[in-house]
Chains A and B, each alone.
Chain A
């Protein structure tokens, strides 16, 4: 037994030495290593390779396992954080700023001749500019539009749709393109979208999530309810969009998040609401002929814009070097690469207005790049309320939407409950946080929601 344990120990020590010896060099001699927390995919790797080619003195490495905001914050506070990290919305940005790990680079960028407020798309500024100060630079950005499958339209002899258009026209078209077999099972859907895109609908119905000053949740407004009602009707009234059950029944691959892309790619739907970044997946579907038209609208011709910004860790020893990555994101090489990869659009407006953007020589069939640009011009970023934890809000809203989607609750009832829950959460936040309460008083002149003037 002694021998056995001793022998195992020796073997393990030997393995440890082996593990230690095959450990890759953190940085090549004379180079500074930078770590970037972002998600891993082939497009990202190309973007990193290009940066490393352009900067011989730096090695940028990807860290895809720590994309959670909590991890970035804890690690950065502990001094082991990344040098660069992504930020997906204003709530995250505010959390990074408040926890003191996002570096205010307004002056640094100005010295380098960069101004994200002027150069980048509005929709991505929500992820990098907070209360007038820049903490980073846009990474990519986009707004959703309607993809359509040209082969299906050709087969059915229906002319390709053209924007701008309204929902009634769209629904009629989608109904023509939805087919069911004798058992009522759909063989082809006119339209597909994910429920997390619900804000796209809300904004164009003139609805809001929070009141203008952010002090109140207003998802129970008639406009927002109407938007959710349309989503519901597309499934259960007009029957042009798959219900959750039908979604699952389309036995193709794909998880909860990305199922629609693959289902659409597999010819199960004639039209789908999605972003330009879908091409990163759809280009691999040989023989799929695609077109894009702007999304129909209801009251306002606006679309939901979303993207991500890259921020610098204030406590990073290499934050000066990390600045070079922001400069890279502002530059032509990077923007052109993003535009060519179709990983949404590059953050800088100017490069989308060069002729090169409209025509990618490798993909001349993609003749709809102008649609994405126009949609982005009319795009509005997600609303933000400083008075509520964005993650809590998201969870509460998603739960109610889930109930509507599963036909358990009417749109009106669900949105009223959601507003109630979110406003209760806001009230609780005010009780706990004196700083928030002070701001609330400044804005509203009241101490608490519902209280007398």
Chain B
């Protein structure tokens, strides 16, 4: 096939898929500007524009506070998860110790445990530790990740061992090797994990729902429930809140794009 034709075909395919991804979001943005009664009608454009829906979101609920909470909690979790995962991944990828592979397999096995299994005991644990209804209860249990450890271990395995051996010959301790050799080289991997984690926790719904009681601790997904009650659903405001909800994620994704793809290394073919 001639090169230009192939290029055109690829662009065509990509654009088609992109369109199916984009149209629903366009609908979402337009719906956020519609009067309530038109929201689920499928006329694409509102008959009258209601940009004040966005203002209403802030008036009816303390949206700014929820925004802050969501970003704040996700940031803490991302930070802690990256840190603990890096350290554990280092132990698995770079250090030789007895039982290493056994423990690693145990970590892998926990990826298979359905979240609901641990939900009830963890909830009881939060109650016992008196961190129900607190930032701590939202942040701490989510800060340790077997998935993150796995992802970063795979990435660290791709870093040539000669590098840290050289550093050790120069008299560097483990701690120094970790910070000065491995961590800088593992940066794409860490950023990738960071993005996955941030997105996962930012949208998490069920745990905050059962854990949080106070209004000032609510996160965005929980706060938005106000627009959906027995007395009616303000779908246009839900849409406005959702549009505002995804803005931080889009910014994060676009700014860190170039690291993302580099950051994922899942092990090599045996050979």
Which A residues contact B (CB, under 8 angstroms)? 1-2, 5, 8-9, 12, 15-16, 19, 22-24, 35, 39-41, 43, 61-66, 68, 71, 74-75, 78, 80, 82, 251-255, 257-258, 261-262, 266, 277, 280-281
**Among B76, B133, B216, B230, which residue has its beta carbon within 8 angstroms of that of A80?**
B133
- By a CB distance below 8 angstroms, the chain B residues around A64 are 225-226
List, sorted by A's number, 26 A–B pairs whose CB atoms are closer than 8 Å: A1-B180, A2-B179, A12-B79, A15-B72, A16-B76, A24-B216, A40-B229, A41-B231, A63-B214, A65-B213, A66-B213, A74-B123, A74-B124, A75-B127, A75-B213, A78-B128, A80-B127, A252-B37, A252-B41, A253-B37, A253-B235, A254-B40, A258-B231, A258-B233, A262-B232, A280-B231
- A113 to chain B minimum Cβ distance, whole angstroms, is 33
For chain B, residues 29 to 57, give those with C-beta under 8 angstroms from any C-beta of chain A: 36-37, 39-42
Chain A: minimal CB distance from B68 (Å): 7
A19-B135, A24-B216 known; A71-B231 Cβ under 8 A: no
Chain B residue total in the interface (Cβ 8 A): 45
A65-B218, A281-B231 given as contacts; is B226 within 8 A of A5 (CB)?
no
- Starting from the known contacts A65-B213, A80-B130, A280-B231, 6 additional A-B residue pairs (CB-CB under 8 Å) come to A41-B229, A74-B124, A251-B41, A253-B39, A255-B233, A257-B230
Q: Which residues of B contact A39 (CB under 8 A)?
A: 229-230
Q: Is the CB of A1 within 8 A of B183?
A: yes
Taking CB atoms and an 8 Å cut-off, the chain B residues in 119-140 that contact chain A are 123-124, 127-128, 130, 132-133, 135
Q: Are A254 and B232 in contact (CB under 8 A)?
A: yes
Partner of A19 from the list B72, B128, B183, B232 (CB cut-off 8 Å) is B72
Measured CB to CB, the closest approach of chain A to B204, in angstroms, equals 14
Main secondary structure of the interface of B (DSSP, over half): helix
A66 contacts across to B, CB distance below 8 A = 210, 213
A256 and chain B: residue at smallest CB distance: B233
* Min distance, Cβ A275 to any Cβ of chain B, angstroms: 11
Q: Which residues of B are found within 8 Å of A252, using beta-carbon distances?
A: 37, 40-41
B212 within 8 A of A: yes
Chain B 194-224, CB-CB to A under 8 Å as 1, else 0, gives 0000000000000001101111101000100
Minimal Cβ-Cβ distance residue in B for A37:
B213
Q: Tell me, yes or no, whether B228 is within 8 Å of chain A by CB.
A: yes
Q: Mark B139-170, 1 if CB is under 8 A from A, else 0.
A: 00000000000000000000000000000000
A80-B211 Cα distance, complex, nearest whole Å: 11
Contacts of A255 in B (CB 8 A): 228, 233
B187 an interface residue at 8 Å Cβ cutoff?
yes
Q: Which residue of B lies closest to A71 (CB)?
A: B210
Across-interface contacts of B225 in A (CB, < 8 A): 64-65
> How many angstroms from the CA of A71 to the CA of B126 in the assembled complex?
13
B209 and A8 contacting across the interface, CB-CB below 8 Å: no
The 9 closest A-B pairs by CB, nearest first: A78-B127, A1-B183, A281-B232, A253-B40, A253-B235, A253-B39, A41-B231, A280-B231, A251-B41
Which residue of B42, B133, B179, B215 contacts A251 across the interface (Cβ within 8 Å)? B42
How distant is the Cα of A64 from the Cα of B213 in the complex, in angstroms? 8
**CB <8 Å contact, B83 and A5:** yes
Query: How far is A40 from B135 in the complex, measured between Cα atoms in Å?
Result: 22
Chain A neighbourhood of B244, CB < 8 A: none
> In the bound complex, how far is the Cα of B229 from the Cα of A40, in angstroms?
8
CB B113 to nearest CB in A, in angstroms, measures: 22
Does A9 lie within 8 Å of B79, measured CB to CB? yes
Within the complex, the shortest CB–CB distance from B131 to chain A, in Å, comes to: 10
Q: Are B212 and A12 in contact (CB under 8 A)?
A: no
Contact A80 B132 (CB under 8 A): yes
Among A9, A12, A65, chain B packs the most CB atoms within 10 A around the CB of A65
Residues of A within 8 A of B41 (CB): 251-252
Measured CB to CB, the closest approach of chain A to B122, in angstroms, equals: 12
Interface string of B63-94 (1 = CB under 8 A from A): 00100110010011001000100000000000
Tell me the minimal C-beta distance from A252 to chain B in angstroms: 6
Give the CA-CA distance A61 to B75 in the complex, in Å.
29
- With the chains together, A2 CA to B180 CA distance in Å? 8
CA distance A444 to B135 in the complex (A): 53
State whether B75 touches A12 (Cβ < 8 A). yes
- Measured between alpha carbons, how far is A258 from B231 in the docked complex, in Å? 7
State whether A12 and B76 are in contact (beta carbons under 8 Å apart), knowing that A40-B226, A40-B229, A65-B213 are contacts in the complex.
yes
List the A side residues contacting B210 at CB < 8 Å. Answer: 66, 68, 71
Smallest CB separation, A413 vs chain B (Å): 32
B184 within 8 A of A: yes
Residues of chain A with a CB closer than 8 A to B39's CB: 253
Q: How far is the CA of A242 from the CA of B228 in the complex (A)?
A: 23
Residue of A nearest to B83 (CB): A5
Residues of chain B with a CB closer than 8 A to A280's CB: 231
Which residues on A sit within 8 Å (CB–CB) of B228?
255
Interface centre among B65, B130, B214 (most CB of A within 10 A): B214
* Residue in B closest to A24 when the chains form the complex, CB atoms: B216
Measured between alpha carbons, how far is A65 from B184 in the docked complex, in Å? 43
What's the nearest-Cβ distance from chain A to residue B214, in Å? 8
Complex Cα distance A409/B136, Å?
A: 51
The residue in B132, B180, B212, B235 that gathers the most chain A C-beta atoms within 10 A of its C-beta is B132
Give Cα A266 to B127, complex, Å.
Answer: 46
Q: Which residues of the other chain, A, contact B216 by a CB distance below 8 angstroms?
A: 23-24
